[in-house]
Chains A and B, each alone.
Chain A
Amino acid sequence: MTTLMEVKYTVPPLRSDLLQRPGLSEKMNRELQSDGRFTRKLTLISAPAGYGKTTAALQWLQALDSCTAWVSLDEGDNDGRVFWSYVVRALSEVHGGVGKKSADYLQAETTQLAGMAGGPTDYRNFLKRLVNEMASLPKPAILVLDDYHVIEERDIHDGISYLLQHLPPTVHVVLVTRVDPPVGLSRLRGRGEILEVRAADLRLDARAVRQLVCRMTGYDVRDDELAELLKSTRGWITGLQLFALSASQSDDISQLIHNLAGQNRYILEYLLDEVLAHQPPEVRDFLLQTSPLNRFTPSLCDHVTKSSRGLDMLMRLQRQNLFVVKLDEAGRWYRYHPLFGQLLRHQLAKERPREVGRILCRAADWYRQKGMVPAAVDAFIDAEAFGQAADVLQEEVEKLWYQGREKQLLRWFDALSEESIMAHRRLCIFYCTVLLVNAARSSEAEHYLTAAERFTSDNYEKEAEPGSFLRLTGAEMEGLTRALRAQLAAFSGDAEGFLAAADGIMNYFRARRSNWRPLAATLAAEASEWQGDVRKCDRLFRLALEDGRELKDPIFCLLVANRMAFMKLRDAKLTEVLQLCSDQLEFAEETGFAGTSRAGTLWSLQGEIHRERNELECAAECIQKGIDMAEEGPPTAAAWNLIWRLRLLLSCRRLQEMEDLLGYVREHMMGLAAWIDRKVIDLRVRLAICRGDHAAAERLLTPFMKMDEPIGPWYDETHLNIVRLLLAQDRVLGAVQRLESLEDYFSERGSTRGRLQATILRSVALHRLDRADAASVQLRAALQLGEAEGFVRSFLQEGEEVHALLLKCKDRGICSCYVQKLLDEFAGETDTAAPGDEGQLAPADEITAREREILRLLSEGLSNKEIADRLFISLNTVKWHASNIYSKLGAANRTEAASIAKRLGILQD
Chain B
Amino acid sequence: MIKLTVRVIGVLGPDWSDWFGGLQVRAADCGKTEISGQLEDYAAVYGVIERLRDLGMRMVEVRVEPLGCDAQKRR
Contacts and interface: CB of A to CB of B under 8 A. Distances in A.
Interface of A: 48-51, 149, 178-179, 236, 238, 264-269, 338-339, 342, 346, 349-350
B11 interface: yes
A268 B18 contact: no
A775 to B, nearest CB: 64
A33 B49 CA distance: 38
Contacts of A49: 53-56
Contact of A350 (B15, B31, B53): B15
B12 A265 contact: yes
B56 A268 contact: yes
B10 interface: yes
Contact of B12 (A178, A269, A338): A269
Given A346-B16, A349-B18, A264 B11 contact: yes
B53 A48 contact: yes
Contacts of A349: 18
B36 interface: no
A269 B55 CA distance: 10
Contact of A50 (B15, B31, B33, B56): B56
A266 B10 contact: yes
Contacts of A149: 53
B53 A179 contact: yes
Interface string B1-41: 00000000011110110110000000000010100000000
A342 B10 contact: no
Interface residues of B, number: 15
Contacts of B11: 264-266
Interface of B: 10-13, 15-16, 18-19, 31, 33, 53-57
6 A-B pairs with least C-beta separation:
A264-B31, A266-B10, A49-B56, A48-B56, A265-B11, A266-B12
Nearest to B53: A178
Contacts of B33: 266
Contacts of A267: 10
Given A346-B16, A350-B15, A264 B53 contact: no
A170 B57 CA distance: 38
A443 B11 CA distance: 46
Chain B CB within 10 Å, residue with most, of A51, A265, A266, A339? A266
Contacts of A268: 55-56
Contacts of A236: 56
Nearest to A350: B15
A238 B18 CA distance: 24
Contacts of B10: 264-267
A842 B57 CA distance: 75
A277 to B, nearest CB: 16
B31 A339 contact: no
25 contacts: A48-B53, A48-B56, A49-B54, A49-B56, A50-B56, A149-B53, A264-B10, A264-B11, A264-B31, A265-B11, A265-B12, A265-B13, A266-B11, A266-B12, A266-B33, A266-B55, A267-B10, A268-B56, A269-B12, A339-B56, A342-B54, A342-B55, A346-B16, A346-B19, A350-B15
Nearest to B33: A266
Given A266-B10, A266-B33, A339 B55 contact: yes
A156 to B, nearest CB: 17
Contacts of B13: 265, 269
A338 B51 CA distance: 12
A238 B55 CA distance: 11
Nearest to B52: A48
Nearest to A351: B15
A265 B25 CA distance: 13
A266 B19 contact: no
Contacts of A264: 10-11, 31
Contacts, number: 42
A795 to B, nearest CB: 58
Contacts of A350: 15
Contacts of A51: 56
Contacts of B56: 48-51, 236, 238, 268, 339
B49 to A, nearest CB: 10
A268 B13 CA distance: 12
B21 to A, nearest CB: 13
Given A48-B53, A349-B18, 16 more contacts: A49-B55, A49-B56, A50-B56, A179-B53, A264-B31, A265-B13, A266-B10, A266-B33, A266-B55, A266-B57, A269-B12, A269-B13, A338-B54, A339-B55, A346-B16, A346-B19
A268 B10 CA distance: 9
A50 B15 CA distance: 22
Contacts of A50: 56
A265 B13 CA distance: 8
B56 to A, nearest CB: 4
Nearest to A149: B53
A48 B57 CA distance: 8
Contacts of B15: 350
Contacts of A339: 54-56
A350 to B, nearest CB: 5
Nearest to A47: B56
Chain A CB within 10 Å, residue with most, of B13, B19, B56? B56
Contacts of A48: 53, 56
A50 B33 CA distance: 20
A265 B18 CA distance: 18
A349 B19 CA distance: 10
A873 to B, nearest CB: 54
A178 B16 contact: no
Chain A CB within 10 Å, residue with most, of B10, B13, B31? B10
Nearest to A347: B15
A50 B53 CA distance: 11
Contacts of B19: 346
Contacts of A266: 10-12, 33, 55, 57
Chain B CB within 10 Å, residue with most, of A236, A238, A346? A346
Nearest to A50: B56
A747 B12 CA distance: 78
A267 B8 CA distance: 12
Contacts of B57: 266
Nearest to A266: B10
A336 to B, nearest CB: 13
Nearest to A264: B31
A327 B15 CA distance: 32
Contacts of B31: 264
A236 B19 CA distance: 22
A697 B13 CA distance: 71
Contacts of A265: 10-13
A266 B59 CA distance: 12
A338 B33 CA distance: 23
Contacts of A238: 56
Nearest to B19: A346
A268 B58 CA distance: 12
A349 B16 CA distance: 10
B5 to A, nearest CB: 18
A671 to B, nearest CB: 24
B26 to A, nearest CB: 13
B55 A178 contact: no
A178 B18 contact: no
A349 B17 CA distance: 12
A179 B56 CA distance: 11
A349 B11 CA distance: 19
A267 B55 CA distance: 11
Nearest to A269: B12
A236 B56 CA distance: 10
A339 B54 CA distance: 7
A384 to B, nearest CB: 14
A236 B18 CA distance: 26
A138 B13 CA distance: 56
A342 B19 CA distance: 10
A266 B12 CA distance: 6
A428 B45 CA distance: 31
Contacts of B53: 48-49, 149, 178-179
A647 B55 CA distance: 60
A199 to B, nearest CB: 10
